[in-house]
């Protein structure tokens, strides 16, 4: 039996991912101007976060390009257990990296 994910949650996650990609690109470009930026822990963290967010974005595009809704209300999307597990793992990894960035007092959110 397939599992479901709320449509609004998927939309919100997608918007968060897209926002983070834009912010991280700006932070990376800015930090590239610094000498020895690759020795900076936060710079390397931003690179990891950027790559992970791009990976999640591509995964969402691939697996939810044509969503299959549970019913006519379109409040829930059907998803396989495997897809849900992979998405969950990616999002947990993202949360961990975001928490680490916050520990450096660096945010990847638009203000």
Tens of pLDDT, residue by residue, the chain (111 residues): 689 999 999 999 999 999 999 999 998 999 888 888 777 788 899 999 999 999 999 999 999 999 999 999 999 999 999 999 999 999 999 999 999 988 877 666 665
Greatest alpha-carbon span in the chain: 56
* 9 in Cβ contact with 87 (< 8 Å): no
Look up residue 80 and give its two tokens.
Answer: 């396989």
What is the model's pTM?
0.88
Among the listed residues 50, 66, 64, 62, the one whose alpha carbon sits nearest the alpha carbon of residue 17? 50
Q: Where are the alpha helices (DSSP H) in the chain?
A: 7-32, 41-63, 81-103
Cα distance between residue 99 and residue 67, in whole Å: 30
């Amino acid at each position: 039996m397939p599992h479901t994910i709320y449509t609004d949650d998927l939309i919100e996650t997608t918007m968060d991912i897209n926002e983070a990609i834009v912010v991280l690109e700006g932070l990376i470009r800015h930090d590239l101007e610094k000498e020895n930026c690759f020795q900076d822990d936060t710079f390397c963290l931003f690179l990891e976060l950027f790559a992970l967010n791009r990976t999640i974005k591509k995964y969402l595009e691939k697996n939810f390009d044509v969503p299959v809704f549970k019913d006519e209300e379109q409040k829930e999307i059907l998803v396989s257990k495997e897809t849900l597990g992979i998405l969950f793992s990616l999002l947990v990894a993202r949360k961990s990296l975001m928490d680490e960035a916050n520990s450096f007092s660096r945010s990847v959110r638009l203000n």
